[in-house]
């Protein structure tokens, strides 16, 4: 670095150190306030949210939850009419099965069943 | 407990001495008073929370490393924002307006000399603001803050040879622009 460079730098430095580049009163007051704030003990949650990483992490988590909700919402489901039909069929079936159970418990039912089966066999033989 | 208090007083003194210059350095980079204040506040908090026990000789370089890191983050955020809001013209805060008006009148100087000096400061203020970001910050850290090449390289997260190049380019540009005042 030449002498003229050094001289120029000295002049710039003395200019920068002069009052011209000092912050104004309002800014100086603000800086004093900020300095005081820097020494205050911060509560845990403020410190947590002050860490720069929480924003992307939260955004990522929110996106993941949204994707899962979207996936579940779009999963194939039977149409409502189909569901209603299925429900009514099931109800009828239950009613029907209840009657059958009563008959199965009655010994006369088996006598009747044998007779019916024999009749069916005879009919098929005859034909 | 007494040690903590001593540390706090030591840091208070350090920050009181550096905060004005730090604010101006941040303001040169951001061209925005509020952003500069916010970045200085963040740097202060980080220094107090994480590096309170460091020695006096380390504090200046450490503080400027933190501030530079905040400035880089700010620049990154700004470039992303600008990509989306390229049509929006930033209303650049001029802080306390024309800094020329704030310069204390030096009654010992001749009026002509004072006028030239004021003009030089005004132009210097303008030309520093016009320098490319890295040249500007390297120049201010080296010349104003008095950091050495290694400390500046650490603060700017670049090599020492880059610091030398940026410094030389900034110096050359300023000399060229302020030729009439030499």
Token pair of A33 as six digits: 């306030």
Partner residue facing B143 (CB), from A9, A20, A39:
A9
Distance CA A31, CA A29 (A): 5
Query: Is A23 in Cβ contact with B20 (below 8 Å)?
Result: yes
Q: Is the separation of the CB atoms in B126 and A25 below 8 Å?
A: no
Task: Give the closest-approach CA distance of B20 to chain A in angstroms.
Answer: 6
CA distance B109 to B99: 19
Look up the ipTM and state it: 0.76
CATH architecture of B111-182: Orthogonal Bundle (1.10)
Region A52-79: mean pLDDT is 81
Residue of B nearest to A52 (CA): B73
- Does the pLDDT at position A11 exceed 60? yes
Q: Which residues of B touch A9 (CB under 8 A)?
A: 143, 171
CB neighbours (10 Å) of residue A101? 9
| A15/B11 CB distance under 8 A | no
Percent of chain A at pLDDT above 90?
22
Q: What's the pTM?
A: 0.64
What is the per-residue pLDDT for A19? 83
Q: Which numeric CATH code is attached to B1-78?
A: 1.10.1740
Asked if B15's CB is within 8 angstroms of A23's CB, the reply is no
Q: Which residue has the tokens 């840091």?
A: B11
User: Domain boundaries in chain B?
Assistant: 1-78, 111-182
Give the minimum alpha-carbon distance from A24 to chain B in angstroms, rounded to a whole number.
6
List of chain A residues whose C-beta atoms are within 8 Å of the C-beta of residue B44: 34-35, 38
Q: How far apart are CA A41 and CA B114, in angstroms?
A: 47
Q: What is the pLDDT of residues B42-90, one digit of tens each?
A: 999 999 998 888 888 899 999 999 999 999 999 999 888 877 776 655 5
């Amino acid at each position: 670095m030449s002498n003229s460079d050094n001289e120029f730098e000295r002049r710039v430095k003395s200019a920068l150190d002069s009052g011209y580049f000092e912050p104004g009163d309002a800014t100086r007051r603000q800086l004093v306030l900020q300095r005081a704030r820097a020494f205050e003990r911060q509560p845990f949650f403020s410190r947590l949210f002050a860490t720069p990483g929480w924003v992307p992490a939260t955004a990522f988590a929110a996106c993941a939850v949204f994707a899962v909700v979207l996936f579940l919402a779009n999963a194939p489901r039977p149409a409502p009419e189909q569901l209603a039909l299925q429900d009514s069929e099931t109800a009828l079936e239950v009613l029907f099965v209840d009657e059958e159970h009563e008959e199965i418990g009655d010994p006369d039912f088996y006598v009747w069943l044998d007779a019916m089966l024999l009749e069916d066999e005879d009919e098929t033989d005859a034909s | 407990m007494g040690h903590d208090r001593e540390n706090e007083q030591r840091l208070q003194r350090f920050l009181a001495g550096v905060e004005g210059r730090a604010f101006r350095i941040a303001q040169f980079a951001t061209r925005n008073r509020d952003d500069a204040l916010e970045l200085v506040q963040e740097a202060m908090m980080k220094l107090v929370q994480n590096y309170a026990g460091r020695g006096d000789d380390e504090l200046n370089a450490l503080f400027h490393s933190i501030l530079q890191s905040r400035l880089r983050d700010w620049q990154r955020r700004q470039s992303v924002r600008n990509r989306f809001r390229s049509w929006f013209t930033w209303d650049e805060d001029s802080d306390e307006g024309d800094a020329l008006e704030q310069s204390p009148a030096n009654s010992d100087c001749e009026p002509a000399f004072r006028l030239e000096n004021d003009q030089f400061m005004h132009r210097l203020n303008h030309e520093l603001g016009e320098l490319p970001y890295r040249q500007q910050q390297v120049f201010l850290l080296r010349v104003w803050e008095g950091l050495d090449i290694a400390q500046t390289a650490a603060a700017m997260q670049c090599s020492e040879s880059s610091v030398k190049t940026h410094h030389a380019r900034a110096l050359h540009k300023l000399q060229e622009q302020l030729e009439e005042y030499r």
